[in-house]
Amino acid sequence: MSGEGAGGSIRIDRLLVYLRFARTRSAAQTLIDTHALRRNRKHVLRGAEQARIGDVLTLATGGGVRVIELTALPDRRGSPAQAASHYREVDSDGLDRKGQMTIAASPPTADPPPDVPEDFS
């Protein structure tokens, strides 16, 4: 695949696979569908969104939150060491881990049905 690593952008679902955050593009799409991924502080809505060098990705994983900055775009899926050479971990020592978990999947909020009283007391 020529052009992706040397060029300007790559599909974000493919990037997640290449960087070994997801095994398949389907698994990457699940991360996207559950709102467990942000690019530059905004939820990623489609796998076809483009990622570029310098973008900051925030991933909600089972054990916490990872924040990375893309330093290069990979051409293919490689070893974990090769994958790690394309990004740097953003220092998260000062982050409130519990507060950061709010980016994980959350149910969509809807207005209460009109027949349910707002105050139950």
What's the domain range around 30?
10-103
The pLDDT, as a whole number, for residue 53 is: 95
CATH number, domain with residue 24: 3.10.290.10
- Classify residue 118: in a domain, yes or no: no
Residue 1 binned pLDDT confidence (cut-offs 50, 70, 90): very low
The pLDDT, as a whole number, for residue 101 is: 43
- Classify residue 95: in a domain, yes or no: yes
The pLDDT, as a whole number, for residue 14 is: 97
- Count of domains in the chain? 1
Residue in 88, 93, 91, 51 with CA at minimum distance from that of residue 68: 88
SS3 95: coil
Residue 12 binned pLDDT confidence (cut-offs 50, 70, 90): very high
- Classify residue 114: in a domain, yes or no: no
- Classify residue 115: in a domain, yes or no: no
The pLDDT, as a whole number, for residue 104 is: 46
| pTM for the model | 0.69
* CA 68/CA 4 separation, integer angstroms: 19
> pLDDT tens for residues 70-117?
999 999 999 999 999 999 998 755 454 544 444 444 445 555 555 655
Q: What is the DSSP letter of 109?
A: P
- Classify residue 1: in a domain, yes or no: no
More confident call, 2 vs 29? 29
- Classify residue 21: in a domain, yes or no: yes
Concatenated DSSP letters for 22-75? -SSHHHHHHHHHTT-EEETTEE---TT-EE-TT-EEEEEETTEEEEEEE-S--S
